[in-house]
Amino acid sequence: MNHISNLWIQRSAWLIAIRPKTLGAAVGPVLIGTAIAISDGMFHLLSCLLCFLAAILIQIGTNFSNDYYDFLKGADTSERLGPKRVTQSGLLEPDAVKQLFVIVFGMAVLCGVFLVVRGGWPILLIGLLSIASGILYTGGPFPLAYHGFGDIFVLLFFGPIAVSGAYYVQALEWRELTILAGLIPGFTATALIAINNLRDAPTDVKVDKRTLAVRFGENFVRREIQFALILGAVLPVLLVVMQPSQWPALLSLLVLWPIFGVIKVVLSDTKGCELNVVLATTGKILLIQSLLFSVGWAAPVLLK
């Protein structure tokens, strides 16, 4: 009975470490890149599926890596206000978490073999940079998140780089529009990490984790969140002005309603663990926004 109980606890710990609620940030950009490929008649099923799988694995590996390195650097303590971290809470040993992120990143590399064969060195470069950034976000001699570069990393890698890469590996050509479209999930993901940093600012400052919330203060980050969410929400209007035939993509404007709700709470001086609900809502907004935009963008082709 004890063996079964321990197995259950361990599996639960793995699930906590995976942090399923964050995976929408990996899925959203691939959805958008694929939708544009469908619209252009460039959809490639196997590349699409492997792209989704590789993106999810890189996100999971990044979550494991962050769990491990934040614990080593003392950023995760008993004062933590966010969701439970498995290393800090003792659910998994640090060495086990390190092994997990190495294995998961290795699986992502295996998924990427076909994508690199198909797409060549640009896909290899994107893949390697994505994995390296996932580790260097909180690890290495110059952890990005600890020096205030986390927001830029998130904007680029969960935005234009991911969307352009997902499009390129299917279409085998670049398109400038994918860079602009990539800013939709990119800005929303930036708001997501900014809310996370706003919540953690009181504990981050104690370990010299110099996020933008620590460097410039809470008011700056609250405005950053507002700016990022609104920009991400209205960008589809500009894309439709550029390509009027894609007007169904304006379906994504429906997320403005919950976005205004998030902004209202963020600007109301809400702090600490109360921001966890806002964080979860923003994660859902990112996935729903990407899904609505993608369905709308691909609709004119799919409904022919």
- Comparing CA positions, the residue from 109, 120, 228 lying closest to residue 168 is 120
Per residue in 185-195, pLDDT (tens digit) is 999 999 999 99
Best-predicted range by mean pLDDT (54-63, 201-210, 261-270, 289-298): 289-298
Positive or negative: CA dihedral 168, 172, 173, 177: negative
Q: Where are the domains of the chain?
A: 23-302
pLDDT score recorded for residue 1:
43
Rounded to an integer, the average pLDDT of 28-39 is 97
Per residue in 284-303, pLDDT (tens digit) is 999 999 999 999 999 999 88
Separation between Cα atoms, residue 45 and residue 250, nearest integer Å: 25
Among all chains, which residue has been given the structure tokens 């086990």? Answer: 96
Rounded to an integer, the average pLDDT of 46-74 is 89
**Tokens standing for residue 191:** 């708001």
Per residue in 113-160, pLDDT (tens digit) is 999 999 999 999 999 999 998 888 888 788 888 888 999 999 999 999
Q: Which residues of 182-196 are buried (b: 16+ CB within 10 A; e: fewer)?
A: bbbbbbbbbbbbbbb
